[in-house]
Structure 1
Amino acid sequence: MKRHVVFLEVEGGNDKGADGLRPDTMPMVNSLKMFGWTSEVIFYAESKKEEIFQSIVENADAYISRINPGNLEDESSYFELLRNLTNQGIIGMERPEVMMSYGAKDVLVKLRDTSLVPTDTFAYYSMSDFIANFPKQLEKGERVLKQNRGSTGEGIWRVELIDQNEVDENGVLFTAMVRCTEAKDNQVQEFVLGDFLNFCEQYIEGENGMLVDMPFLPRIVEGEIRILMINDKPVNVVHKKPAEGDNAFSATLFSGAKYRYDTPEDWPILISLFQQKLPMVVEILGNYDLPLIWTADFILDTDENKLDKYILGEMNCSCVGFTSHLELSDEVAEAIIKLVTKNKKNHKELEEQL
């Protein structure tokens, strides 16, 4: 084993520090060094794909992707590089299939038969399905639409029918007025439903296009609770309370939400619930190894007995950071070494069997 890890980043972007890197990358590099490993940062560029491939295969045991693939001009080409690397025995953190399982919004639909997600949660991969089903769901109450790969609340819409009488046997009329609030900035716009449906085509068409449709949970005003995971261990909880306002529901800093950083011990019921459900989640999502760094976001709801219950609103693993808690770098480095060592051992045993 080479005991060498490559961190993949891209140049530019508003997530970089003065050194041009994500603020939590060098802490991981330094922590790996403390444990006797070496590492380096390579900036991904489409034009250097073959050069990057050769360098990683020759010098490294593993790569760690620090890139949001949805922001790349050609996501599929980047995924091709990552798949080619893992085909050569490089340990991927994360592999494309893991990113798509744990990082895409349709994870909610995969889990809707569990107690973590409402059963009336849907994914639309075509405009025909969206047009046929969404008006029926909207008739039942406020809905939230989420584009597949958005960030910072972009393409996440709270949708409310203004006049409850504008319905027929097919659901809300296409001519009905709807009040729509985007999580990006809590700005409210009113649309004719038919126009809004056409507006949403941008989220459905194209590579990996898709919209998730789920019921709006009013208790979002009490805050969204994000669990930060290092592999199978909860290490931090962020309580994100939306800004005050009648239509405010966004839990992003940009929209004015207030963040509070807690420990897992501050949320014993939620942490216990999630750890209990984790084996089931892993099985449903394909039995892949859990991501290195990932998050699960929850919103409070109320069950039929008027008791609190937690609803999963999103999971992410594509390029999760821990900038607000850089002291976690040693723990992350230990997890990296453990995962690489375990996977290398498994590969060796498999080769010996063949």
Structure 2
Amino acid sequence: MRIFLSFPSELESQADNIAQSLRNCDHDVFFSHDDLPPGDSFDARVEKAIESSDFMVFLISPASVTKGRYTLSELAFARAKWPNPSNRVLPVMMAPTSLDQVPAYLRAVTILEPQGSAAAETRAAVDRMLAAERAQSRGRSSWPFVVLALFSVVGSFITVRYATGVLQYSFVDSTPTGGITILPGVIFGLVIATCNFIFGVKDRFQLALVVAVTAAAWIAAYDASSVTLQSLGQYSKAVATAAADAGTADTTATPAEVRDTLGNNPFMGYVIGSVGGAVGGAITILGVLLTNPGFRRLDSVVVNWIAAIAAGAVYGAIVKFPDWLAWLVLFGVWQTTFILAMARGFPRGAAEIPEWLGRITTPALFGQRAAR
């Protein structure tokens, strides 16, 4: 979990102890301005740091709630991200402070008043709130994500089936007919960007980046499969013509010959599809990792990469069947698994599904500091 620790300079020593205690539990803590990412202005960096965080610990003292202190600006950034502070913001009373001075936003949740070690009790409180958030996440509806997955699968299938020549591109084939339409990658990227938006990513550049990376992943996956297919096809023909004159034998595999080779050797289809799935899946996952810190969990990454390889392998195995069936299986397995894994992959930083998205889907289906 990424935690932003807000405190006045007068509490630096106590804040340092709390930060260390949280880090001992593998939390990523923004403790001071040195922890903030580079940027144009300090205000923008603080706002982005809070935007990328999953949680805030706010240390209350007369100094931290005094008008004009930067801690109140940090609290305003947090309020913009989490209108409801429940399970998002933990106020900790570090020094006697009149409740009349404490902002109403903090009074809306239980204020922790340590009786012993502030560091230990803050860590324990964060763990309890995290457990509550996980329980809440398990009860969160997945139907909006099912709808997004369905839209992605159907949209990708239609475009690759009926718009193959639209915006065709390849990283390795420069011929006019080389490559494949980028539309399925763009559609899938838009859906992934929507999932990122649901889970708190509001930066337009990051949302655009994940669309671009996903589109590139789709092209790279297709190119990797094509290159592997041609290489194996040429190898098979070279073996078949080994008895012929080596100087005159034609070892260039035609598309029909390659297809026949795959039909006679399904194992090659598994290899070709797996290579494409591994390449495309890795790049897609990288795009999400770059744009949403909440996805940086080993289990989410592994599940999605395995799903990509498996979907590619299945596609390669059934390539001898009608193209439409192979594409439908590919998109249905890979995209649906990825989107639903995203839905369950952000339990630590997941925001509630926006009300507008819930209204559209569910009823339709089922009735660190500056000078502080």
Q: Give your verdict on TM over 0.5.
A: no
Greater RCO (CA < 8 Å, at least 6 residues apart) = 2
TM-score, with structure 1 as normaliser: 0.29
TM-score, with structure 2 as normaliser: 0.28
The structure in which a higher percent of residues are strand is 1
